[in-house]
Amino acid sequence: MTLATAQQEMKLRRIFIKNQMPEQLTGLSRMSHNILWSWMPQVAELFRSIDPAQFVALNYNPVALLEGLAPARLDELAADKDFLKRLRRAEKAFDAYLAEPMKKDLPRVAYFSMEYGLHISLKLYSGGLGVLAGDYLKEASDSNVDLFAVGLLYRYGYFNQGLSMNGDQIHHYPAQKFTQLPVKPVRAEDGNWLKVPVTIQGRIVQAKVWSLAIGRINLYLLDTDHEDNGPDDRALTHMLYGGDNEHRLKQEILLGIGGVRAIEAMGLQPDIYHLNEGHAGFLSLERLKNYVAAGLSFAEAREMVRASSLYTTHTPVPAGHDHFPEYLMRGYLYNYAADLGLEWGDFMALGRLHPDDAGEDFNMSKLSIRLSQRVNGVSKLHGEVSQEMFTSLYPGYTAEEVHIGYVTNSVHYPSWIADSMHELFSTEFGNDWVRDQSNKDIWRNVHKIDNKVLADTRHTLKVRLLDYVKAKLQVDMRRRGESPRMTFDVLSKINEKSLVLGFARRFATYKRATLLFTNRDRLRELVNREDQPVLFLFAGKAHPADQGGQDLIRQIVQISKEPDFAGKIIFLEDYNMEMAKLLTQGVDIWLNTPTRPLEASGTSGMKAALNGSVNFSVLDGWWAEGYRPDAGWALPLERTYDDQHMQNELDAETMYSILEDEIVPTYFNRDEDGVSAEWMSYVKQIIAEVAPTFTMKRMMDDYYERFYLPLGKSAAAVRKDDMQPGKSYAAWKEDTANKWHGIETIETHTLDTVNHALPVGEPFSAELKLATNGIEADHLVLEALFYQRVNEEKIVLRRTQAFKLKEQTDSTATYTISIDPHLAGVYEYGFRLRPSHDMMPHAQDLPLVYWV
């Protein structure tokens, strides 16, 4: 036979057969391409109803769902009167939302972040930082403000977590199909796909620009994974937080520098740049470069950039801030020094604490803080910790004087509230109340809801959670290879009458996920009470490089298999936004046990609070602000032991005591209706008194009031008249800095406080004469400061008063003061001279001081 030819080989060609939406159904496709659908329950429900099982299987992704629908099903839907009616109604609400005009007269904000947690089907996030950014963008849309965002479009994103039978974390990286995401290409003027060039080690890498609609606003995403680029460069946008430090550097160059270029190419012209974490810090370099290219000096350019930048820091641990060694910086950003008109050493100094320390790495938070006029932490406590952390940048000032402020993080109500809870609230909270969601008076109407009705609604959410847990365990345990007997044992012990506690978040060691297991005997007793069963649910991913975090997961998985703990301690694989929803809505108690003060804010506890899940947490981050004794429980504030082991042991014993003596008895103290009135009082109080403060509306209002509006003014002030004010402010700063070291003390007349005490009520007076080296007295402020010593390292400012200028000459200024300190006790005081200018937003905008 001689028939064997090439024609025998399978010969296949590719064709994409695009679903043709029947005319009546095109609205589905349109709505699936704006993530707004995810926080409009009626639209989400519409998608789900098309094929509930498939919707879940596709990670609740409506684009994928519609793409995969059989033509017959489409015809069926197109003929389904009821479905079409619901579709029309949904479209009407959707379009009405989109049609509302944007608020006027607000500065336009460009928001930069490395990650965005918008929906489970968009793998652009790892954890809390991303979810916060995602929630913020949704609120920007709801609040109708002038804001757009910039980020990276990852092919693989952050990993999906699997577990081995032993509890070893397994990392899966399924690729995203961009055609199944609600993203679309941004077109250049010529109609081609917009691409922006970024130089990486001398190579030009082209980043495609995509846009993702989030209600009324846009998130622009850069993507290098396409045929214009070589394999290494394509990998730039593969993984979120993957690879080594050098890879991170490249990604940050892409985000910051590429991001600014994309904004320019689109002609967006923001007034303000908001850096969500130091990852975005390089954006300021690119902006500097543009100003220098337009003819400004470096100092002038820096003024323009600073006056329009806000940097939000999220990490209270210095090691958590990205930093790059000099050789890497040299390899990637050497040309920027010349472009900015700087010597290389001066360029590196932008990211160093000690400008002259050639061994110091280039630190992204130092860069960001130097090139941003305003800086904030993400809770009150974290603001204070950040002040401490950055005090060394401002010699002559104590931490509490450092200009860093705070905006406490929050959550987007429509994204995290259970539908059933929202319906219940809406019966008592009036019409359209969500627009006024940070108003406590509205939320206090929760007390009008009948206890039994509220308890039943909460119980239904718990049952839904436990059904999900059981279904998930069945699949996951089989895949891990657990025996059917073990699986059956665990499932049969899951009891919906239990008090259910949840702990889910990133498994970083400081979060102390295993604190609960410090005393196993006590825990065993607690979870196994006959009539008061208790169940703990755990979930969370550890970073692939974090062995310590992965050890904690392994420990919990192993404990969960011991006979006494089976069905009482459960670890759920692959924490994500969908699971976070089910958990925070369904548990009775949300638990958090970080080492204080390392939890900058934490947001999952707020999601729980909205839904009436009561918090039990260390008084750290947001809970230090949110906690009230009638609305939850707290582990104490103060640190008792220096030794962390001892502290852990103490905290664990305190935790058991609170659980045994307060939480469990309160929960199970039921009346004949099966309701614990005392428990419902906690539920209602956390909803009424805590939840409204931690809604995104409040956070957005805070950002505008504390940062965007003042910054918008500074930005406009330096920019007007062809940037003249900015240039002269820069010139004044340079001149003042040059003259500053020539300041000298000529005479001091003051009370001899070494030998004399000052009686209370008696004024303290002083007269000082200074040589000002040509700096005008108008531009100087001399202050007397009274501090009290707390311990060897720490002093606290108790009183400040400015001196009066008595007389001045060309070269001197004489000041007097008479101050009644109104204080008794031992103080330390001093006289501090600092520069002053009416364009200065805060003292450290030019951090020069002279202590007399």
Residues that bind ligand PLP (CB under 6 A): 127-128, 131, 505-506, 575-577, 580, 602-605, 607
Q: Residue 517: helix, strand or coil by DSSP?
A: helix
Q: Which is nearer to ligand PLP, 505 or 684 (CB)?
A: 505
The two structure tokens encoding residue 404: 């860093």
Give the 3-state secondary structure of residue 707: helix
CB of 633 to ligand PLP, least distance (A): 17
C-alpha to C-alpha distance for 362 and 267, rounded to whole angstroms: 31
530/3 Cα distance (integer angstroms): 77
- Say if residue 321 is exposed, middle or buried (CB neighbours under 10 Å; 0-12, 13-18, 19+): buried
Identity of the residue, 131 or 634, whose beta carbon is nearer to ligand PLP in the bound complex: 131
* E strand or H helix that includes residue 423: helix 419-429
For residue 576, the minimal CB distance to ligand PLP (Å) is: 5
Is 87 or 515 the residue whose CB approaches ligand PLP more closely? 515
The Cα 103–Cα 551 span in angstroms is 50
Nearest approach in angstroms of CB 199 to ligand PLP is: 34
Is the separation of the CB atoms in 334 and 761 below 8 Å? Answer: no
Rounded CA-CA distance 293/304 in Å is: 13
Residue 489 in contact with residue 567, Cβ under 8 Å?
A: yes
CB 138 within 8 A of CB 39: yes
Residue at 415: amino acid letter: S
Nearer to ligand PLP, 379 or 386 (CB): 379
Minimum CB separation of residue 137 from ligand PLP in Å reads 15
Tokens, residue 229: 């680029």
On whether the CB atoms of residues 507 and 541 are closer than 8 A, the answer is: yes
State the nearest-atom distance from the C-beta of 132 to ligand PLP, in Å. 8
Single out the residue of 782, 784, 788 nearest to residue 823, CA to CA: 788
Residue of 785, 771, 709 whose CA lies nearest to 742: 771
Q: How far is the CB of 686 from ligand PLP (least distance, A)?
A: 16
Q: How many CA atoms lie within 13 A of 63 on its CB side?
A: 18
Q: How far apart are CA 522 and CA 525, in angstroms?
A: 5
The length of the chain in residues reads 852
Q: Closer to ligand PLP at the Cβ: 415 or 736?
A: 415
In the bound state with ligand PLP, the residue whose beta carbon lies nearer, of 364 and 577, is 577
The least distance separating ligand PLP from the CB of residue 600, rounded to whole angstroms, comes to 9
| Nearest residue to 123 (alpha-carbon basis) of 154, 169, 162 | 154
* Strand ranges, E, within 499-582: 499-504, 534-539, 569-572
Closest contact distance (angstroms) between CB of 317 and ligand PLP is 14
Tell how strand 764-771 and strand 780-789 pair up: unpaired
Nearer to ligand PLP, 131 or 777 (CB): 131
SS3 213: strand
At residue 772, φ and ψ (nearest 5 deg) are -100, 0
CA atoms within 13 Å, Cβ hemisphere of 721:
7
Q: With 0-12 CB in 10 A as exposed, 13-18 as middle and 19+ as buried, what is 447?
A: middle
| 59 vs 745, beta carbon nearer ligand PLP | 59
Q: How far is the CB of 659 from ligand PLP (least distance, A)?
A: 20
Pick 601 or 676: Cβ nearer ligand PLP: 601
CA–chain centroid gap for 19, Å, is 38
Nearest approach, Cβ of 580 to ligand PLP (angstroms)?
3
CA gap 280, 259 in Å, rounded: 9
Q: Which is nearer to ligand PLP, 116 or 273 (CB)?
A: 116
Q: Which is nearer to ligand PLP, 289 or 607 (CB)?
A: 607
Q: Which is nearer to ligand PLP, 28 or 44 (CB)?
A: 44
Q: Give the C-alpha separation, 123 to 176, whole Å.
A: 8
**Alpha-helix residue ranges (DSSP H) falling in 540-603:** 547-559, 577-586
Nearer to ligand PLP, 300 or 620 (CB): 620
Contact call for residues 331 and 288 (beta carbons, < 8 A): no
- Pairing, β 309-312 against β 374-377: parallel
Based on CB atoms, which residue is closest to ligand PLP, 501 or 770? 501
